[in-house]
């Protein structure tokens, strides 16, 4: 009986300590962007101070649990996308948006460089009305830098399916770089 009470007291203390630590932790933000091949988009976002984590995956389509092969078959409607977890104390959502407009060509429909298909479309998948408003505002500013109209979709986020493990941190694992580069 004494062991059970002690275990209960210890478990309660550990739970309280974990809850206290969680409450004191900064709240992270999340954003989802599609701008062509997710390897290059991920690599550039990983360079930013304040980006805590990235995951490449598929979103914006109508098929549950798509694979890379499914998405490349053009039947799922998914885009190759990057889920970005960031620290709002170090970088804002608006700064991520401004960076997003610079790391790909938002004026090409379903294409980035040599990659062609709806999975390579430019899209911002917003997670809250505030993100939608910010994306639309920053898009107006970004349009001033492009001669052709921006075709980037600004749409509500749907289920994000992480890509297969071999796609995660691709350039960190294999070296090289994608066809993405920062524009002025």
Instruction: State both tokens at 96.
Output: 């991520």
Active-site annotation holder among 17, 37, 72, 179: 37
Instruction: State the number of CA atoms in the 13 A half-sphere of 19 facing the CB.
Output: 6
Q: Which of 9, 24, 117 is nearest to 71 (CA)?
A: 117
Residue 7 CA to chain centroid, in angstroms? 42
- Which long-range contacts does 154-159 make (Cβ < 8 Å, 24+ apart)? 154/123, 154/124, 154/126, 155/60, 155/123, 155/124, 155/125, 155/126, 156/125, 156/126, 156/132, 157/32, 157/59, 157/125, 157/126, 157/127, 158/59, 158/60, 158/61, 158/125, 159/59, 159/64
The answer to whether the CB of 130 falls within 8 A of the CB of 154 is: no
Provide the CA 20 distance to its chain's centre, in angstroms. 29
37 classed as catalytic: yes
Which residues carry out catalysis? 37
């Amino acid at each position: 009986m004494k062991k059970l009470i002690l275990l209960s007291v210890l478990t309660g203390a550990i739970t309280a300590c974990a809850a206290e630590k969680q409450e004191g932790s900064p709240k992270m933000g999340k954003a989802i962007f599609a701008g062509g091949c997710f390897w290059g988009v991920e690599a550039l976002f990983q360079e930013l101070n304040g980006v805590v984590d990235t995951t490449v995956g598929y979103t914006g389509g109508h098929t549950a649990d798509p694979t890379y092969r499914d998405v490349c078959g053009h039947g799922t409607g998914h885009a190759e996308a990057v889920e970005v977890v960031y620290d709002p104390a170090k970088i804002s959502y608006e700064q991520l948006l401004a960076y997003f407009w610079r790391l790909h060509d938002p004026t090409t429909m379903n294409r980035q460089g040599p990659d062609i298909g709806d999975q390579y479309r430019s899209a911002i998948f917003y997670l809250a009305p505030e993100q939608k408003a910010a994306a639309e505002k920053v898009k107006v500013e970004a349009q001033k830098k492009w001669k052709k109209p921006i075709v980037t979709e600004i749409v509500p986020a749907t289920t994000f399916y992480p890509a297969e493990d071999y796609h995660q941190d691709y350039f960190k694992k294999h070296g090289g770089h994608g066809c993405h580069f920062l524009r002025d």
